[in-house]
Structure 1
Amino acid sequence: MPNKLISLAEAVRRFSWDGMQYASGAALPIGSDAIVFGRELLRQKRKDLHAIFHCSGQQLNLLAAAGAATKAECGFAALEVVGFANGLRRAVESGRLALEDYSNLAMTLRLLGGALNWPFVPATVNIGSDLQYRSAFSPDEFPARSKIPSVTDPFSGREIGAFSPLRPDVAAIHVTLADPNGNSILLGTEWSRFELSRAAKKVVVIADALVDPACIRQYPNLVRIPDILVEAVVYWPFAAWPHSSPGMYDMDEEHTFFMNKALASEQGTADYIRDFVESYSDLDSYLDLIGREKIKTLSASGSSFLLDPYRRWIFAPEDVASLTAQGLST
């Protein structure tokens, strides 16, 4: 079976570089995000990243705390009940990271503009406020003229704003299910992963489970990311941990609080990277790090029924290993 399966380490080696525009899909503690890809970026010492997150969560928090991201654009920068993202706060307040702020809707529209290859996106939100007038990328300019410049609607004569479209170099997108070629089904809220997959120049999908292509043929209408958009597929259960993945596992609330507390200081960040980024060598040791009993608990989710229609097509880990050996890694 021809396929695009690749190891996580190889995906980061092949599809990332210092200084790139890097985007990831979904966020918030309850939103699926390819956090394990961000961990691997740190393991491979990537730096000067320009991070693009519709709604930031623990991945941007970690990349900012570690100093790997020096620019970021996002529409929300908190962790809900967990509190503000401490690593991101430290990076911004110290001047190590410039954070350009937009609304959630603005980020969605900018990704849509990138997906449709628009020269700019008409903006009727964020205008007339500091979201338009203040720019972290041009801090000495007020009002900022390059962030959301004014344009005239040629039909009505009304003055509106113009968003720049987003076309990130690489997007690592967490998906619930993928076949070996990258056709992907997303369970739960999407957080613009649909638009991101079409806006990014290269897409790597990180799947909690791998399914037989027969599953895709059974539910073609549910495929939100088709294989034609995908460069590579990484199989990595609990890729969104400590975030949740609807149908698969709940948010690890205990670790989310622990992680955010650790990222509040330089020493705590160094300790966290030592213990939870650099300490595992493969998928099995990663799952051991989370804890097998905790995995059982988190997997006993109230949303598990969402996976029921697809269970018959999910590949066992040994089948995935065999397929990966035949994939892009070779």
Structure 2
Amino acid sequence: MVEKVTSYDALRDRMQGRDRTLRDKVMSLPEAAALVHDGSTLGIGGSVISRTPMAMIWQLIKSGKKDLVCSRSMMSTDCDLILASGLSRHIITSWCAQGIMWGLSKVVRHHFENKLAVYEEWSHLAMGMRYRAGAMGLPLMPMRSVLNSDMYALQNGQIHTLDCPFTGEKLAVVPALNPEVAIIHVQQCDPFGNAQIDGLTYLDMDLALAADRVIITTERIVSNDQIRRAPDQTKIPFLCVEAVVEVPYGSAPHECYGLYEPMFDHISAYVAKVNASPVEGMKAYIDSHIHAPDTWLDFLDLIGLKELSAATAKGRSIYNV
């Protein structure tokens, strides 16, 4: 499947049309989900089980969104939920499994092996280069590492080669990736959308610049004065951001660096359930953990205070060394 690459002029026109005023962008999860339309392209921040915007994914599924084209650097149990719920039938990523602790996902295998969804696989670096091109307003990005790989066959015409005009060397070029919406979870953000990230930023900074609009979910909303005390920690500027949603434990049951570790008991029980029955097990989990809870806090109640507290103690211990 060859994707259409957006031209620079079109990207510039879209950027100029944004409201870049310094205004309050705080809203609820349902209000933010309303900004995502069926069939949109969606970029997802974080990587594997780190800073996954799970609350926003939960709300998009709960809101009945369908047929999104989802891209993320590396995916985990979030991919199970996205596919089984019908949120997406097209995944763009470099890695997709339950995680190192739990191995491959039978849910993902069920969908891809039975051609229920498209799995568009790129290398780790190629995903980064595609978002970087999108962030820079370029239609493509040159790279070397895919030249002698199977990516050419896998991508069916999306990777091309060119001769460098300066050295004459042959280079591969990959297309820019400009999602219509990006959802990114951070440790703290002000009401205007200045988002600060502790720990690894993964591809989030480029993703935010590449996307047409960005929804930030944050562990806590702080004042702009607080943000200005550590400006070097502001990784995503307000001018990229469309919505700010305060969602404590917004990555649960995944981790948020410095605040809480993964909730391993919950994830292990989930994996056992859905791997035993990739169709019925997933349906039961989505019914009980997404459709049944009225709010994100109700979902957290299903994980339980004991596990949330233990994950928090482990996550914050990094600052007590």
Question: What TM-score do you get using the length of structure 1 for normalisation?
Answer: 0.85
SS in 2 for 1:82: coil
Q: Which one-letter code corresponds to 2:211 in the other structure? A: A
Q: Is the CA contact 2:65–2:87 (under 8 Å) kept in the aligned structure 1?
A: yes
Q: Which residue of 2 aligns with 1:170?
A: 181
SS in 1 for 2:260: coil
Q: Which residue of 2 aligns with 1:87?
A: 107
Q: Is the CA contact 1:12–1:41 (under 8 Å) kept in the aligned structure 2?
A: yes
* Equivalent of residue 208 in structure 1, options 197, 207, 219: 219
Give the whole-Å Cα distance in 2 for the aligned partners of 1:168 and 1:205. 15
Q: Which residue of 2 aligns with 1:196?
A: 207
Q: Is the CA contact 1:171–1:200 (under 8 Å) kept in the aligned structure 2?
A: yes
Q: Which residue of 1 aligns with 2:81?
A: 62
Q: Which residue of 2 aligns with 1:22?
A: 42
CA displacement at 1:38 relative to structure 2: 1.2
CA displacement at 1:306 relative to structure 2: 4.5
Residues 242-291 of structure 1 deviation map (CA, whole Å, 9 limit, x = unaligned): 11001111101112222233333110011000111112112432332221
Q: Which residue of 2 aligns with 1:275?
A: 288
Q: How many residues align?
A: 297
CA displacement at 1:230 relative to structure 2: 0.5
Q: CA RMSD in A?
A: 1.9
Give the whole-Å Cα distance in 1 for the aligned partners of 2:199 and 2:270. 24
Q: Is the CA contact 2:255–2:261 (under 8 Å) kept in the aligned structure 1?
A: yes
Matched, 1:229 2:240: yes
Q: Is the CA contact 1:87–1:260 (under 8 Å) kept in the aligned structure 2?
A: no
Q: Which one-letter code corresponds to 1:201 in the other structure? A: D
Q: Which one-letter code corresponds to 1:75 in the other structure? A: S
Q: Is the CA contact 1:65–1:263 (under 8 Å) kept in the aligned structure 2?
A: no
Give the whole-Å Cα distance in 1 for the aligned partners of 2:281 and 2:299. 20
Give the whole-Å Cα distance in 2 for the aligned partners of 1:238 and 1:185. 16
Percent of pairs identical after alignment? 27
Residues 51-86 of structure 1 deviation map (CA, whole Å, 9 limit, x = unaligned): 101111222221012232111110111211211133
Q: Which residue of 1 aligns with 2:5?
A: none
Matched, 1:5 2:26: yes
Q: Is the CA contact 1:51–1:60 (under 8 Å) kept in the aligned structure 2?
A: no
Go from structure 1 to structure 2 and tell me whether the alpha carbon gap of 1:19 and 1:306 turns closer, same or farther (over 3 Å shift): farther
Q: Is the CA contact 1:62–1:263 (under 8 Å) kept in the aligned structure 2?
A: no
* Equivalent of residue 306 in structure 2, options 293, 300, 308: 293
Q: Which residue of 1 aligns with 2:8?
A: none
* Equivalent of residue 62 in structure 2, options 14, 35, 43: 43
Structure 2: runs of 5 or more not aligned:
1-21
Give the whole-Å Cα distance in 2 for the aligned partners of 1:89 and 1:283. 28
Q: Which residue of 2 aligns with 1:284?
A: 297
Go from structure 1 to structure 2 and tell me whether the alpha carbon gap of 1:131 and 1:149 turns closer, same or farther (over 3 Å shift): same
Q: Which one-letter code corresponds to 1:288 in the other structure? A: D
SS in 2 for 1:80: coil
Give the whole-Å Cα distance in 1 for the aligned partners of 2:63 and 2:283. 15
Q: Which one-letter code corresponds to 1:210 in the other structure? A: I
Go from structure 1 to structure 2 and tell me whether the alpha carbon gap of 1:70 and 1:283 turns closer, same or farther (over 3 Å shift): closer
Structure 1: runs of 5 or more not aligned:
136-143, 308-330
Give the whole-Å Cα distance in 1 for the aligned partners of 2:308 and 2:248. 10
Matched, 1:107 2:127: yes
Q: Is the CA contact 2:290–2:299 (under 8 Å) kept in the aligned structure 1?
A: no
Go from structure 1 to structure 2 and tell me whether the alpha carbon gap of 1:17 and 1:302 turns closer, same or farther (over 3 Å shift): closer
Q: Which one-letter code corresponds to 1:241 in the other structure? A: A
Q: Which one-letter code corresponds to 1:165 in the other structure? A: A
Q: Is the CA contact 2:55–2:296 (under 8 Å) kept in the aligned structure 1?
A: no
CA displacement at 1:27 relative to structure 2: 2.0
Q: Is the CA contact 2:163–2:171 (under 8 Å) kept in the aligned structure 1?
A: yes
Give the whole-Å Cα distance in 2 for the aligned partners of 1:241 and 1:148. 36
Q: Is the CA contact 1:127–1:148 (under 8 Å) kept in the aligned structure 2?
A: no
SS in 1 for 2:291: coil
Give the whole-Å Cα distance in 1 for the aligned partners of 2:141 and 2:257. 32
Q: Is the CA contact 2:143–2:172 (under 8 Å) kept in the aligned structure 1?
A: yes
SS in 2 for 1:99: strand
Go from structure 1 to structure 2 and tell me whether the alpha carbon gap of 1:123 and 1:168 turns closer, same or farther (over 3 Å shift): same
CA displacement at 1:302 relative to structure 2: 4.5
CA displacement at 1:305 relative to structure 2: 5.1
Q: Is the CA contact 1:249–1:298 (under 8 Å) kept in the aligned structure 2?
A: yes
Give the whole-Å Cα distance in 2 for the aligned partners of 1:294 and 1:257. 13
Q: Which one-letter code corresponds to 1:284 in the other structure? A: L
Q: Is the CA contact 1:72–1:100 (under 8 Å) kept in the aligned structure 2?
A: yes
